[in-house]
Structure 1
């Protein structure tokens, strides 16, 4: 965690992650350009580059959208999740180069303009104006101006890339930031429509069509499967309720030392941690990026989020000073070997006396 905003600090893991990411993207572009230039295509090098950057962006977008559900199915995918924002920013620049090229004054290099200048730089209108007025056949599915769909998606991706830093996460608050970045699914739908109504109409090679179909089926199917699995976990009924409103959530033996059991009470996931002969219950949602606290563990007396290491004192539901993050807490009781939790949360950062284990 950090108490101040700093420029990006790369550690060894981040350097390895970014090196593998950029190396893989660079290798893909090299292979695409090399193979395409030798296949006798009618496109010149600039046209090939446009397709190379566009296809690289589309593939990387599918990878990004797969990471979240895959981590719910297997924790070994967590390393991909930790710096997913780096992947998102890389994807945005690939999409930007595909659309308009990259010629920024602070960069020592430039990349040839993309489809905007390739198709709209030879008339009397400015390219951006030409993009939106050259084809207004919105009622014709065959001639639908698919370019506008890509432009709308690019705007969403720009907003996401521009707000990827933790400065925006903290100042917008995690729920608003998360809701904003859920726009990626709207943008994904726009991109898929852009590809189907555009490239697939001019390049009807079956491999391209099959590839796009597989990607859509994979993303939709993976998310539906994961959502169904998670809903089944949430639907597991808790035990009986006592006169005070506490709910039986299982036995002490079910929770490993310094770990948690996650249960759903009144529609909210609650993590019950066992540590140092005590039990404490807190919201399962980390205030950093809504990470699953219950999948983390107690380290040095603090609940440690498995995503980015944010920490909270179990009884207080608050990060140790000087950090200020707070999460809701819940009352816990022990009767014999059974654990009972009050489903009504306390305000974030409210200390709740831990339940002592005999």
Structure 2
């Protein structure tokens, strides 16, 4: 369902994303439960319920690791963006896998307890004052609750209802969930019989998540400094800061007034930006109040149209309007205030190419 409670239109990318994710999870669980035990050098095989508990628990941990790596990877390389677009599906599935793990834990370790299994889970170990033997279950419960809250509020309805700042702050709890899971594993599974492979996987996960975020943070700090230097250089050369690209609606314009009173309309369309004078060549209509229709700027007064790149009216019409050069530094749009002769072609700025 969408924000208006109408069915979501599933496209090919969404279906493919979820199909690959389901296949990867199913394959991991199959290998862990059916294939891996044949290679264990043990005198007594691990019980099936315990094996399934470990399979779903480790799967949830690895899935959360991948989720936390998608963001910085997408910032470093745009080819990872397709993984980012449907990351909420990944998170909901992770919560489901974690819930199955918790169900197996309750069913195997506490199902035959004389007290209620939930009460037994919370009261069987209360050694909160010591490190070794600390009730690691508490960290697992906290992480599971966070994953449930994030999964339940992943829909765009909650993004609209709570507002972007609050919704984003809420979903930053994913990092707290990861810390809780690492503590849950470190004080739980890693305290048992030595398993060098599992220990190495957990350590590598922590190093990967922390290292990737640290490296990406340093990269973005350097990029921000470079962008500020580039903006300052362009401003020294007379360019004008025209605002943020996110402030311009698709197929619409942002109108900027220059020092001499000249008004320039900066249009955003098809992932690109172009700038022309705000004055229609017909009767001086405000082009910036019009929209991009059929690939052309359309004046709201009488429907006169102009090509976005060169300000020329489509044939057989001959009207022409001045165009302007733009630069996109990060997400900031800069405008050369010097108008080009009417009909001059200016290559559109591709949004994201310089970001």
Q: TM-score, normalised by structure 1?
A: 0.67
Counterpart secondary structure, 2:16: helix
Q: Distance in 1 between matches of 2:327 and 2:9?
A: 42
Tell me which residue corresponds to 1:27: 27
Q: Distance in 1 between matches of 2:201 and 2:269?
A: 44
Contact persistence 1:57–1:95 (CA under 8 A): yes
Tell me, yes or no, if structure 1 residue 10 matches structure 2 residue 10: yes
**CA distance 1:280–1:118, change in 2 (3 Å):** farther
Contact persistence 1:238–1:249 (CA under 8 A): no
**CA distance 1:340–1:94, change in 2 (3 Å):** closer
Q: Which runs of 5+ in 1 are unaligned?
A: 101-113, 253-262, 282-296, 304-313, 321-335, 345-352
Contact persistence 2:126–2:135 (CA under 8 A): yes
Tell me which residue corresponds to 1:110: none
Tell me which residue corresponds to 1:42: 45
Counterpart secondary structure, 2:269: strand
**CA distance 1:338–1:90, change in 2 (3 Å):** closer
Counterpart secondary structure, 2:235: strand
1:20-169 correspondence runs (5 A): 20-38=20-38, 39=40, 40=42, 42-100=45-103, 114-169=104-159
Contact persistence 2:140–2:184 (CA under 8 A): yes
Tell me, yes or no, if structure 1 residue 186 matches structure 2 residue 157: no
Alignment RMSD: 4.0
Q: Distance in 2 between matches of 1:340 and 1:51?
A: 50
Q: Distance in 2 between matches of 1:90 and 1:159?
A: 13
* Selected match of 2:270 from 277, 294, 299: 299
Tell me, yes or no, if structure 1 residue 201 matches structure 2 residue 191: yes
- Residue 248 of structure 1 deviates from its aligned partner by 1.4
Contact persistence 1:138–1:144 (CA under 8 A): yes
- Residue 36 of structure 1 deviates from its aligned partner by 3.8
> Larger Rg: 1 or 2?
2
**CA distance 1:249–1:195, change in 2 (3 Å):** farther
**CA distance 1:77–1:339, change in 2 (3 Å):** closer
Contact persistence 2:238–2:337 (CA under 8 A): no
- Residue 130 of structure 1 deviates from its aligned partner by 1.0
**CA distance 1:240–1:61, change in 2 (3 Å):** closer
Q: Which runs of 5+ in 2 are unaligned?
A: 257-267, 275-286, 294-323, 341-355
Q: Deviations over 1:71-105 (max 9, x none)?
A: 000000011111111111111100000001xxxxx
Tell me which residue corresponds to 1:173: 163
Q: Distance in 1 between matches of 2:206 and 2:244?
A: 30
Q: TM-score, normalised by structure 2?
A: 0.67
Contact persistence 1:156–1:183 (CA under 8 A): yes
**CA distance 1:161–1:240, change in 2 (3 Å):** closer
**CA distance 1:248–1:6, change in 2 (3 Å):** same
Tell me which residue corresponds to 1:323: none
**CA distance 1:340–1:175, change in 2 (3 Å):** closer
Contact persistence 1:70–1:77 (CA under 8 A): yes
Q: Distance in 2 between matches of 1:95 and 1:60?
A: 10
**CA distance 1:299–1:52, change in 2 (3 Å):** same
